[in-house]
Structure 1
Amino acid sequence: MGIDEAGRGPVIGPMVLCGLVATEDQEEELRKIKVADSKTLSPKKREELSEKIEGIATHIIILRIPAHKIDANRKKGINLNQIEAIKMAEIIDMIKPDKVYIDSPSYNSNKFMEYLSSKLEHKKVEIIAENYADKKYAVVSAASIMAKVDRDAQIKKLEQEIGEPLGVGYPHDELTIKHLEKIARENKGKMPRYVRTTWDTTKQIIKKYEQKGLVGFLQKIGKE
């Protein structure tokens, strides 16, 4: 089994985890279709590969962590690595594999593995947690692709519901920032549940428009 995520860093949308189960023969099939770290592939290529992966893997589990739940956990002092480990443990407990390969989000992979193990009910599992596992193990590469394709689909769904482009949801994207500015301006700094309000980018935008709202309120009082 391989586990990877998509969407750790964005200010908009969920973090998505994928657990993917494959036999040794199926892993060989994954290598033949040239799965790779999803970040190195174009959206079109990821879509093409995801369809092939679905036809090869034994099991594929997708878990989504909405933005407002990420915020709620962070406010309780549970950091992003811990949130990810808790959800990975849920996936492992669902499948109960003998061995699982994980793309560790922490440079201290051993510490991450210890925390993950502490959250498991299914203890009889060998965990291999490594940085860049999505580049090394086909089963993790495939999980990376499936997680990314699902997150992209969630962003597209949001765009359809809202009726405007969101970009990729990351702080470096002009469309993303434009959308956050628009919402904050219209709602005096208040953000919807699909925005991660514990991110510094969002905090700065919220503060900017909360202050503008306060100034406007004080000016209104002054004129009365």
Structure 2
Amino acid sequence: MASIDPVNLDPIPPLIDSYSFHSTLPASAAPGSEENKEGWIMGIDEAGRGPVLGPMVYAAAYCPLAFKPTLESLGFDDSKALSADTRQMLWESFDANADLCYSSATLSPQAISANMLRRVPINLNRQAEEATMSLIRSALNRGINIRECYVDALGPAQQWQDRLSNEFPTITFDVRAKADSIFKIVGAASIIAKVTRDRYIEQWTDPEGPVLGDEVVRGSGYPSDPKTQAFLRNHIDPVFGYRGIVRFSWATVKVLLEKQAASCTWADDVTQPSAAAYFGDSAKSSKLYRDLGISGVGEL
């Protein structure tokens, strides 16, 4: 999409290796404009929550309330229910309609896995919440007067709606399951999320070199897809595991690594002597004690 504004890149704390893009704002988003005074609506949806390959993309679509009648006529819907050609046509409608804007937050496979495997894990729901709130916060920080926000449900709808309302008290939220097929503005966000993720998968190139080859078929990226399963089986490195497109925290990958990769014993897994052993009588006569001139000070 030609309207990406590279100046407006926001980190999405506390996530690793994640980033967002924004479309350029029209004059109707200026603080003093009548459209901004009246308010804007926003819709938020995601693509790629379940796959073992590629990123999870959260996207927001937003427009002035006055643009809503035009929005209703553009044909937006749940992106999964539309053909690739239709999704591309709707993607291009963002360029054709200056008042229809978007933001996207892309959580890379590495970000998803690294956060899920932290000592204190950040699960997928928590990462999705952070991405959602980052999109809303970013729009507000850019001066857009968001009055209404429609969100595809993340877990219990009412609980998530209450949390968003507490976080952003100036916005009226409506969180529902299948919001992308109910609200056109969420359907618009669904298009941004789906097309962004699909292009990532189709155009992904390995930064370490074309070892996998251009002819590699990865399938849809879902663990149940036979093509994806074959890709994972055939492209595992016994030492390094997988390249960056794979979410290594997924159970599917863990099982394959245990079966096909080289076994590894970490130092922390080996029984370590207790701290008291370093101060026993045998330690006091060791070469380390002699070389460093260490002597005991008695009981503390």
Q: TM-score range by the shorter chain?
A: 0.7 to 0.9
Mark the structure with the bigger radius of gyration: 2
CA apart distance, 1:112: 2.2
CA apart distance, 1:25: 4.1
Q: Secondary structure at the match of 2:69?
A: helix
Runs (4+) of structure 1 moved beyond 6 Å? none
Tell me if structure 1 keeps the 8 A contact 2:165–2:172: no
CA apart distance, 1:31: 2.2
Partner Cα separation in structure 2 for residue 44 and residue 172 of structure 1: 25
- State the match for 1:148 in structure 2: 194
- State the match for 2:102 in structure 1: 60
- State the match for 1:94 in structure 2: 138
- Counterpart selection for 2:179 from 119, 133, 152: 133
Q: Secondary structure at the match of 2:50?
A: coil
Partner Cα separation in structure 1 for residue 86 and residue 115 of structure 2: 34
Q: Secondary structure at the match of 1:98?
A: strand
Q: Secondary structure at the match of 1:13?
A: coil
Partner Cα separation in structure 2 for residue 125 and residue 192 of structure 1: 41
- State the match for 2:260 in structure 1: 209
- State the match for 1:198 in structure 2: 249
Partner Cα separation in structure 2 for residue 33 and residue 176 of structure 1: 34
Which structure is richer in relative contact order (CA contacts within 8 A, separation 6 or more)? 1
Tell me if structure 2 keeps the 8 A contact 1:11–1:169: yes
Tell me if structure 1 keeps the 8 A contact 2:53–2:221: yes
Q: Which runs of 5+ in 1 are unaligned?
A: 215-224
Partner Cα separation in structure 2 for residue 192 and residue 146 of structure 1: 26
Q: Which has the higher helix share?
A: 1
Partner Cα separation in structure 1 for residue 66 and residue 87 of structure 2: 22
Partner Cα separation in structure 1 for residue 165 and residue 65 of structure 2: 24
Tell me if structure 1 keeps the 8 A contact 2:148–2:171: yes
- Counterpart selection for 1:44 from 85, 90, 103: 85
Matched, 1:169 2:217: no
Normalising by structure 2, we get a TM-score of 0.64
- Counterpart selection for 1:7 from 48, 56, 81: 48
Partner Cα separation in structure 2 for residue 112 and residue 194 of structure 1: 30
- State the match for 1:219 in structure 2: none
Partner Cα separation in structure 2 for residue 189 and residue 9 of structure 1: 23
Partner Cα separation in structure 1 for residue 203 and residue 239 of structure 2: 25
Give the 3 Å change call, closer, same or farther, for CA 115–70 of structure 1 in structure 2.
farther
Partner Cα separation in structure 1 for residue 125 and residue 79 of structure 2: 20
CA apart distance, 1:40: 0.6
Tell me if structure 2 keeps the 8 A contact 1:11–1:199: yes
CA apart distance, 1:165: 2.2
- State the match for 1:85 in structure 2: 129
CA apart distance, 1:117: 5.2
Q: CA RMSD in A?
A: 2.0
Partner Cα separation in structure 2 for residue 126 and residue 33 of structure 1: 24
Partner Cα separation in structure 1 for residue 163 and residue 113 of structure 2: 20
CA apart distance, 1:53: 3.5
CA apart distance, 1:26: 2.8
Q: Secondary structure at the match of 1:181?
A: helix
Normalising by structure 1, we get a TM-score of 0.84
Residue by residue over 1:98-152, the C-alpha shift from the partner in whole angstroms, topping out at 9 and shown as x without a partner, is 221100121x11222344456x4x5422221111111110000010011100100
Matched, 1:104 2:153: yes
CA apart distance, 1:189: 6.7
Q: Secondary structure at the match of 1:77?
A: coil
How many aligned positions are there?
Answer: 208
